[in-house]
C-alpha cells in the first residue's frame, strides 16, 4: 500500500472496510431488527442458538463502520485544508463533494419509495419538516426527523456539521495545542456517553423510567449533535497533523487488540454500550497511526480482496447514500412476491448479503454519474473563482 504526502492509499481500504461493516449491520437490522436483545444489564443469551451464532459479533463489528468513517474524514479534511489554507476553496470542495449526490439521493428516494413519497407529498407540517430538515442537513437534532427518510443520513448531517466546526477546532488548537484540545473534546464526548448509558440503564427500572424518558427527551439534540462525536472526528485530524509535520504518532504504540476487545466488551454491557463509538474511533486511530509508522498487518491479505476494498472505498459515499433503502426495498419485494419467505429470516438475511453484488456496482454507477462529475464541477468553479492555492 502506497502513500504520498497528498494521498494515503490505505485510507481507501479503510473506507471499504467501513462501508462493508455498515452494510452488514443494515442487513441484520433489515431482517432481525437493530439490536441483539437485552436481559437487564447484559445482552440476552437465551435467544435461539442459530440467532446467537449470527447476531452478536456481526452486529458489534457493524457498529464500527461509522466511527471508521468519522476518523478517516477528520484525517482527510485536515489534509485537504492544510494543502490550500483557503476557507472559500475548502468549503466549496466540501459542498460539491457531499451535497449534490446527497440531494439527488433524497430526490431519488422521493420518487421511487412509497414511504418516502408519503413523507414528501403528505399533508401537514410533519412532511414539510422532514423535507426541510433533510435539505438543510439538520435532521439529526430531532427524533421525529433523524431517521425519517433514510436512517443512514443521520451521519451525513453530523459530518457536515463537523466540517462547519473545523475552523473552531483549529482555533482551539492554536490557543491550547492539540493535546489540551483533544482532552476537552474527550471530556465532552464522555459526558454525552455517560448520560446515554445512564438513561439506557434507568429505563429497565419501572419506577425510574419517567426520569430516563425526561433526560432522553432533552438530551437527544445534544447526544446526536456534532459535539457528541467531535473528539472521535478530531482524532483523525490530529493524526493527519502529525503526519504532515513528520511528528511521531503516539497512538502507534497502543495495543490494537486490547482496545478492540474493550469496544467489543462494551457491546454486551448496557451502561457501557454508548462508549462503543468512541472506542472504535480510538481503534481506527491506532490502526492508522501504526500503518503510517510502517507497521503492517502480519496476516497476508489477498490482492483481489485489497483491490475490492480499494474500489469499494472509492465508491463508499455513493454506496452509503443508497444501500439501506435498497435493502429495505429488496426485503419488501421478496416478502411480497414470495410470501413463504416471511418466516425464513435466515434466507432473507443471506439474500440481503448477496445483494451486495448489485448494490456495490450500483454505487459505482452513482459515483461515476453523479459524485465524480459533481467533484469536477466544484474544482472548475474553485479554479475560476481563484479559491484554491497551494502551500509550499
**Higher pLDDT, residue 56 or 316:** 316
pLDDT at site 20: 95
CB atoms inside a 10 Å sphere around CB 143: 13
Reply yes or no on whether the pLDDT at 223 is more than 80: yes
Q: Could you tell me the pTM of the whole model?
A: 0.92
How far apart CA 233 and CA 69 sit, in angstroms, is 9
The closest alpha carbon to 78, from 202, 231, 243, belongs to 243
- How far is the C-alpha of 144 from the C-alpha of 224, rounded, in Å? 13
Residue-wise pLDDT for 258-272, tens only, equals 999 999 999 899 999
pLDDT category at 368 given cuts 50, 70, 90 is very high
Confidence (pLDDT) at 123 = 45
Is the per-residue pLDDT at 189 higher than 90?
A: yes
Residue 125 has pLDDT above 60, yes or no: no
Residue range 99-123: mean pLDDT, rounded: 73
User: Hey, where are the domains in the chain?
Assistant: 10-385
Question: Which band of pLDDT confidence, cut at 50, 70 and 90, is reported for residue 115?
Answer: low
pLDDT category, 122, cuts 50, 70, 90?
Answer: low
User: Phi and psi (nearest 5°) for 301?
Assistant: -95, 125
Among candidate residues 105, 233, 82, 79, the one with its CA nearest the CA of residue 158 = 233
Rg of the chain taking only CA atoms, in angstroms: 21
Predicted confidence (pLDDT) per residue in 4-62, tens digit: 455 788 999 999 999 999 999 999 889 887 667 888 899 888 877 767 777 777 777 78
- Biggest alpha carbon–alpha carbon distance for the chain: 65
CB 359 within 8 A of CB 319: yes
- What is the model's pLDDT at position 266? 92
**Tens-place pLDDT, residues 325-340:** 999 989 989 999 999 8
Q: 280, 263 in Cβ contact below 8 A?
A: yes
Measure CA 258 to chain center: 23
pLDDT digits (tens, 9 = 90+) for 135-178: 999 999 988 888 878 889 999 999 999 999 999 999 999 999 99
Per-residue model confidence (pLDDT) at position 218: 64
The rounded distance, in Å, linking the Cα atoms of 175 and 87 is 19
Q: What is the pLDDT of residue 124?
A: 52
pLDDT given at position 241: 96
Amino acid at each position: 500500500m502506497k502513500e504520498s504526502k497528498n494521498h494515503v492509499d490505505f485510507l481507501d481500504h479503510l473506507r471499504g472496510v467501513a462501508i462493508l461493516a455498515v452494510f452488514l449491520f443494515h442487513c441484520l437490522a433489515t431482517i432481525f431488527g437493530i439490536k441483539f436483545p437485552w436481559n437487564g444489564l447484559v445482552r440476552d443469551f437465551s435467544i435461539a442458538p442459530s440467532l446467537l451464532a449470527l447476531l452478536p459479533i456481526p452486529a458489534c463489528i457493524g457498529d464500527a463502520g461509522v466511527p471508521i468513517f468519522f476518523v478517516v474524514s477528520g484525517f482527510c479534511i485536515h489534509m485537504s485544508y492544510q494543502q490550500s489554507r483557503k476557507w472559500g476553496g475548502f468549503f466549496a470542495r466540501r459542498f460539491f463533494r457531499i451535497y449534490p449526490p446527497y440531494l439527488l439521493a433524497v430526490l431519488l428516494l422521493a420518487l421511487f419509495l412509497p414511504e418516502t413519497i408519503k413523507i414528501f407529498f403528505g399533508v401537514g407540517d410533519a412532511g414539510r419538516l422532514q423535507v426541510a430538515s433533510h435539505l438543510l442537513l439538520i435532521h439529526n437534532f430531532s427524533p421525529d426527523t433523524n431517521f425519517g427518510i433514510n436512517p443512514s443520513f443521520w451521519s451525513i448531517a453530523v459530518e457536515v456539521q463537523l466540517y462547519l466546526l473545523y475552523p473552531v477546532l483549529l482555533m482551539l488548537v492554536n490557543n491550547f495545542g492539540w493535546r489540551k484540545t483533544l482532552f476537552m473534546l474527550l471530556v465532552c464526548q464522555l459526558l454525552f456517553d455517560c448520560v446515554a448509558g445512564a438513561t439506557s440503564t434507568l429505563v429497565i427500572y419501572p419506577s425510574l423510567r419517567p426520569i430516563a424518558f425526561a433526560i432522553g427527551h432533552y438530551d437527544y439534540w445534544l447526544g446526536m449533535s456534532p459535539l457528541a462525536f467531535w473528539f472521535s472526528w478530531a482524532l483523525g485530524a490530529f493524526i493527519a497533523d502529525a503526519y504532515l509535520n513528520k511528528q511521531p504518532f503516539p497512538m502507534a504504540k497502543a495495543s490494537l487488540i486490547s482496545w478492540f476487545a474493550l469496544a467489543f466488551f462494551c457491546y454486551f454491557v448496557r451502561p457501557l454500550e454508548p462508549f462503543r463509538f468512541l472506542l472504535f474511533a480510538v481503534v481506527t486511530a491506532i490502526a492508522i497511526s501504526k500503518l503510517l509508522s510502517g507497521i503492517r498487518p502480519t496476516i497476508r491479505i489477498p490482492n483481489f480482496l485489497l483491490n475490492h476494498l480499494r474500489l469499494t472505498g472509492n465508491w463508499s459515499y455513493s454506496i452509503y447514500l443508497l444501500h439501506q433503502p435498497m435493502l429495505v426495498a429488496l426485503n419488501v419485494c421478496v416478502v411480497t412476491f414470495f410470501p413463504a419467505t416471511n418466516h425464513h429470516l435466515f434466507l432473507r438475511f443471506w439474500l440481503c448479503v448477496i445483494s451486495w453484488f448489485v448494490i456495490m456496482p450500483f454505487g459505482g454507477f452513482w459515483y461515476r454519474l453523479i459524485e465524480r462529475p459533481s467533484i469536477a464541477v466544484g474544482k472548475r468553479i474553485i479554479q475560476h473563482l481563484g479559491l484554491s492555492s497551494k502551500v509550499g
